[in-house]
Amino acid sequence: MPENNEADTSCHEQAAGSSGHHGYIGNQAGYLRRLKLIEGQARGLQRMVEEEVYCIDILTQVSAMTKALESVSLALLSDHMSHCVVSAAREGDEAADEKVAEAMKAITRLVKS
């Protein structure tokens, strides 16, 4: 995903699920397109099960969908680091520490999944 270079300090003030300018907003359309493709993959998996497709073929598609989700996750993380964390670092130690800790928690969740 391309880096969003717009300066915006609202990112670190936003709670999860709230509206505001986030690091990914510069490529929101790209993320939505990718997530819609993943949604289509999920529907395809449902059809495969309904049609009693061979297990290994279904697992191959599950793997492809997992990789697509991982790709979106890593791109979002990159956008978060280059926008939200950098913005917080410019504000000072406390804001930066909070954003780094938040990012580390997200990375830990991604690695465990």
**Tell me, what CATH number does 88's domain have?**
1.20.58.1000
Please check whether residue 9 lies inside any domain of the structure. Answer: no
70/74 Cα distance (integer angstroms): 6
List the chain residues with pLDDT less than 70.
Answer: 1-21
Please check whether residue 36 lies inside any domain of the structure. Answer: yes
Please check whether residue 19 lies inside any domain of the structure. Answer: no
Q: What is the pLDDT of residue 27?
A: 85
- C-alpha closest to that of 70 among 109, 22, 23, 40: 109
Please check whether residue 76 lies inside any domain of the structure. Answer: yes
Give the range of the structural domain holding residue 69, as residue numbers without chain letter: 25-112
Q: What is the pLDDT of residue 88?
A: 86
Residue 63 near residue 47 (C-beta atoms within 8 A): no
* pTM of the complete model beyond 0.85: no
Q: What is the pLDDT of residue 96?
A: 86
* Number of domains within the chain: 1
Q: What is the pLDDT of residue 34?
A: 96
Q: What is the pLDDT of residue 93?
A: 85
Please check whether residue 10 lies inside any domain of the structure. Answer: no
Please check whether residue 103 lies inside any domain of the structure. Answer: yes
